Amino acid sequence: MNGPRFPGVLGQLGAQQPGVRQNPITLSGGGLGTANGHQPKWVKVLDKDRCIGCHACTTACKSENDVPLEVTRTFVKYVDVGYWPQVRRAFQVTRCNQCEDAPCVAACPTSAMFKRPDGIVDFDKSICIGCKACIAACPYDAIFINPDDHSAEKCNFCAHRLEMGLEPACVVVCPTEAVLVGDINDPTSKVASIVDRDPVAVRRPEKMTGPTVFYKGATQATLDPLAARRPSGDTYMWSEKHSGRGLVNSGHPERYNSSAAAVVSYDINHTAPWDWRVSLYTWTKGVAAGAYLIPLLLILVGAIETSSQLWRWVAPLTGMAGLAATGGLLIWDLEHPQRFYMIFTRPQWRSWLVRGGVIITGYGAVLSIHLLFSLLDAAPTPALAVVGAPLAVLTAVYTAYLFAQSTARDLWQSSLLAPHLVVQPLLLGASVALLFDVLGDGEATGALQLIVALAAIVHLLTTWGEVTLAHHTEHARLAAWEMVRGSYAWFFWVGAALVGLGVGAAGVGPLGGLLAAAGLLAYEHAYVQAGQAVPLA
Amino acid sequence: MDQPDLPAIARRLSAARSEVEARGGTFYQGPSRVNLASFPPKERWDDWVELESKAWPERLEKRYMLVPTTCFNCESACGLLAYVDKDTLQVRKFEGNPEHPGSRGRNCAKGPATLNQITDPDRILHPLKRAGARGEGRWEQVSWDEALDDIAARLRKAIGEQRHN
């Protein structure tokens, strides 16, 4: 069948448009050729009625694609359901879902992750900068950084084998024919007949990614990563759990999302993509934005003159120092720091990493012009703020969109995040300005103390909202639980206490601002890390 | 249980099969029942060109000879094909052997994982003959000729003495 595929009985109305012929590649002496007369759209069916959980797909994939130890493109998760003797071990072959609307493709700043016309989400390691945005975005935890070449990779349906006319390695090896590949555009194919007529499920349909890997006969206990209990102790039923910084174990740590007795019995290592550098970056970026916005605010309310030291020197110098630290942290966090320029040379404009990079660069340019005015002994004109203020606000706020693009992380989908990220720079900027103000002529101490106190109170109220307002998914609720009571409770409560102390101490000088700023850093760390602490696979 | 459209599949497979067979090759039908083969045609195992997955998406061609061998990880002894890189003579990977009468191309996790053992630093590189008493753990290195002659002589002696077990 050629042309588009229509659902239901409309399919017979599908016009017989000539499809794009996918010519078999010509290998010197190799290749098998394909007999398809049309553009295929590859999908896979994982038949859980047949799977025996033998891990052959895992090892075949590893040797075919030379995947190092500790990481996998595909693996088999085990969940034990029931009480002995009425118990069964459920298997889930877990891998990239080749989404129709792939979050990793949208998040990738350089198009290193890309969607092919035949439906495969493929990758190009030579242009991967290693920002891990794809990993943060993937709701299936299917992408990893290869420790050998430091680039992101995942299952790509063995695209190189498909082009040779060979089935993927996992399909060929499977002793029970539980892994099938085929063309969903071909209604006579085995996969199309299963997908169209048998009950099949996809993982995380609520993410609206349109997975093209279909599970036949799968139990909810494996499909939903929070439907099974995480066993206590340091092992699953028969394999070691992994512990350490940034490692995420499978299963629900407390009240799991199923009434059946389900417990994770085997899983691989999962890691949170973004470490403390990203937590710190949200803070340095806040300093950079606030350092400019606060003096501007003071000028607008008439608290200081444009000739003030705060406006002339503190704003551009602190702002630029904050931006330099931000850029440094972001580049340091890349697995390929030397490729960071590719964000600008081959931008993928849907990526908030690219948009943020442009915003930060623009803001940096405004601060440079501002500094130039000061160096030329002219008071920087507030007219420049017509450009500068929006850029400063965007510098603060774009991270909310960057985090929201991390489709996998439900905690970060909060609508409070953007306003919260506007308040935080005000607190940080006022704290910095207060310090310089007290060291200098003290012209705006009162106003700055008031801003510190108000911003700290708003921050605490917003945090209160983040924690207590209804979470729209169990994932988000669990992330908030990890932040407030779980692994990051210490950072969270110390952060809250310091900001609280800051409110009280704001009246007695710059100490209050510094306490609040330190508290904000602790909070940022708790928020960024807890958002990544929920199992996805 | 829904059945796939078998005549259509058969038509498509026969088209793919005749395409391969027209080029003098055996078409190994895979479990997906599509126009994809599960293994290279055996007529081309001596000189098989494949795209290297590590170089992807660059289409880097690698030449292999596919050497039939046996998985030694359990007593089932399933068939394997060793993909020997023609440039380096290193084994790149193991796949199943579709011509093996027992496993017919399929393997469990141990089959492809054989790759780990051929470079295991603790693997036994030469025939070893027990030097001390049983269980003492002392061994001496012997040649293949010596090992085979010794074992054959013992077998011959056992057969001669009617010791069939």
Name the minimum distance, in Å, from the CA of A93 to any CA of chain B. Answer: 13
The answer to whether residue A476 sits within a structural domain is: yes
Tell which of B33, B36, B117 to mutate to test the A interface (max A CBs under 10 Å).
B36
Spacing of C-alpha A382 from chain mean position: 37
Distance from CA of B119 to the nearest CA of A (A): 13
Q: Are residues A447 and A490 in the same domain?
A: yes
Q: Do A231 and A320 lie in a common domain?
A: no
Smallest CA–CA distance, residue B8 to chain A, in Å, is 6
Q: Answer with the one of A271, A293, A328 that is the final residue of a domain.
A: A271
- From A216, A237, A271, the end of a domain falls on A271
Residue type, A303: A
The overall average pLDDT reported for chain A is: 89
pLDDT band at A29 (very low <50, low <70, confident <90, very high): very low
Interface test with A, best of B18, B21, B32 (most A CBs within 10 A): B32
Domain match, A355 and A251 both: no
Q: Is B30 on the interface with A (CB under 8 A)?
A: yes
User: Which amino acid is residue A431, in one-letter code?
Assistant: S
Residue B157 C-alpha, separation from nearest chain A C-alpha, in angstroms: 42
Put simply, the answer to whether A171 touches B113 (Cβ < 8 Å) is: no
Whether A35 sits inside 8 A of B16 (CB atoms) is yes
**Domain co-membership, A161 together with A298:** no
Gap between the Cα atoms of B143 and B149, Å rounded: 10
Q: Is A28 on the interface with B (CB under 8 A)?
A: yes
Q: Is the pLDDT of residue A71 over 50?
A: yes
| Nearby residues of B146 by Cβ (< 8 Å), 6 or more positions away | B127, B129
Peptide bond into A85 cis (omega under 30): yes
Q: Residue A151's closest CA among B57, B149, B14? A: B57
Residue A492 lies in a domain: yes
B125: closest CA of chain A, how far (Å):
23
Vertex A77, ends A76 and A82: CA angle to 5°?
135
For residue range A141-200, what is the model confidence (pLDDT) as tens digits?
A: 999 999 999 999 999 999 999 888 899 999 999 999 999 999 988 888 899 999 999 999
**One domain for residues A232 and A300:** no
Q: Is A191 on the interface with B (CB under 8 A)?
A: yes
Q: Is the pLDDT of residue B165 over 50?
A: yes
Question: In angstroms, rounded to a whole number, what is the distance separating the alpha carbons of residues B18 and B6?
Answer: 18
Q: Using CB atoms, which residue from B30, B51, B56 is nearest to A172?
A: B30
**Which of B47, B59, B107 lies at the smallest CB-CB distance from A29?**
B47
Instruction: Determine contact: B15 vs chain A, CB below 8 A.
Output: yes
In a domain, A366, yes or no: yes
Backbone Cα Rg of chain A? 27
CB contact under 8 A, B32 and A163: no
Angle between helices A445-468 and A489-505 (to 10 degrees): 150
**Is A441 within the bounds of a domain?**
yes
Residue at A485 is within a domain: yes
Residue A236 confidence (pLDDT): 86
- The residues in B 121-160 lying below 8 A from A, measured between CB atoms, are none
Q: How confident is the model at residue A5 (pLDDT cuts 50, 70, 90)?
A: very low
B45 at interface of A, judged by CB pairs closer than 8 A: no
Q: What pLDDT does B111 receive?
A: 94
With CA atoms as reference, the chain A residue closest to B47 would be A29
- Kindly state whether residues A263 and A290 are assigned to the same domain: no
Q: Please state the domain count of chain A.
A: 2
**Residue in A with minimal Cα distance to B109:** A56
Higher pLDDT, A492 or A36: A492
Q: How far is A56 from chain B (nearest CA, A)?
A: 3
pLDDT of residue A388: 94
Distance to chain B for A171, nearest Cα, Å: 7
Cβ-nearest to B31 among A27, A34, A171: A171
Which residues, in sequence order, are CB contacts of A115 under 8 Å at separation 6+?
Answer: A102, A105, A121, A122
Instruction: Output B23-29 pairs: Cβ under 8 A, ≥24 positions apart.
Output: B23/A33, B25/A32, B27/A32, B28/B98, B28/B105
A287 and A159, same domain (yes or no): no
Tokens representing B146 are 């010596």
Rounded to the nearest angstrom, the minimum Cα separation between B109 and chain A is 3
- Residue numbers of the domain that contains A223: 8-271
**Which residues lie closer than 8 Å to A77 by C-beta, 6 or more apart?**
A91, A92, A94, A222, A250, A264, A266, A267, A268, A537
Mark whether A34 and A161 lie in a shared domain.
yes
**289-328 of A, contacting B, C-beta below 8 A:** none
Predicted confidence (pLDDT) at residue A490 exceeds the cutoff of 90: yes
Nearest to B32 among A56, A161, A190 (CB): A190
Regarding whether A263 and A284 lie in a shared domain, the answer is no
Residue A29: closest C-alpha in chain B: B49
Please list every residue in chain B whose beta carbon sits closer than 8 Å to the beta carbon of residue A51.
none
Output the domain CATH number for residue A20. Answer: 3.30.70.20
Helix A474-484 / helix A489-505 crossing angle, nearest 10 deg: 60
Q: Which of A89-98, A225-234, A265-274, A375-384 has the lowest average pLDDT?
A: A375-384
The CATH number of the domain holding residue A419 is 1.20.1630.10
Shared domain check, A171 and A63: yes
Output the pLDDT for position A27.
Answer: 46
Min Cα separation A146/chain B (Å): 11
Q: Is it true that the peptide bond before A103 is cis, omega within 30 degrees of 0?
A: no
Asked if A164 reaches chain B (Cβ–Cβ under 8 Å), the answer is yes
Among B53, B110, B111, whose Cβ lies nearest the Cβ of A160?
B53
Residues 82-101 of B with CB under 8 A from A: 93-96
A101 with A225, same domain: the answer is: yes
Closest CB to A190: pick one of B4, B39, B50.
Answer: B4
This model of the complex carries an ipTM of: 0.82
Residue with tokens 């009468």: B101
Q: Per-residue pLDDT averaged across B140-151, rounded? A: 96
CB–CB of B57 and A159 under 8 A? Answer: yes
The verdict on residue A1 lying in a domain is no
Judging contacts by C-beta atoms under 8 Å, the chain A residues touching residue B109 are 54-56, 58-59
Kindly report the number of other CB atoms within 10 A of residue B143's CB atom.
10
Is the pLDDT higher at A26 or at A182? A182
CB contact under 8 A, B110 and A59: yes
DSSP, residue by residue, A299-352: HHTTSS-TTSHIIIIIHHHHHHHHHHHHHHHHHHHSSSGGGTTHHHHS--TT-H
Instruction: Give the pair of three-digit tokens for residue A223.
Output: 């499909």
| pLDDT tens digits for range A499-530 | 999 888 777 778 888 999 999 999 999 999 99
Q: Which of A244, A271, A298 is the last residue of a domain?
A: A271
A261 min Cα distance to partner chain B (Å): 29
Q: At A22, is the pLDDT very low, low, confident or very high (cuts 50, 70, 90)?
A: very low
Assigned domain for A536 exists:
no
Contact A193 B5 (CB under 8 A): yes
Distance, CA of A318 to CA of A133 (rounded, Å):
28
Interface residue B119 vs chain A (CB under 8 A):
no
Say whether both A265 and A289 belong to one domain.
Answer: no
Q: Cβ A56–B109 below 8 Å, yes or no?
A: yes
Query: A30, B2: Cβ pair inside 8 Å?
Result: no
| Domain contains A3 | no
| A363-395 tens-digit pLDDT | 999 999 999 999 998 777 788 999 999 999 999
Q: Which pLDDT does position A35 carry in this prediction?
A: 45
Q: How confident is the model at residue A483 (pLDDT cuts 50, 70, 90)?
A: very high
Query: CA-to-CA distance for A382 and A400, rounded, in angstroms?
Result: 27
Q: What is the pTM of this model?
A: 0.87
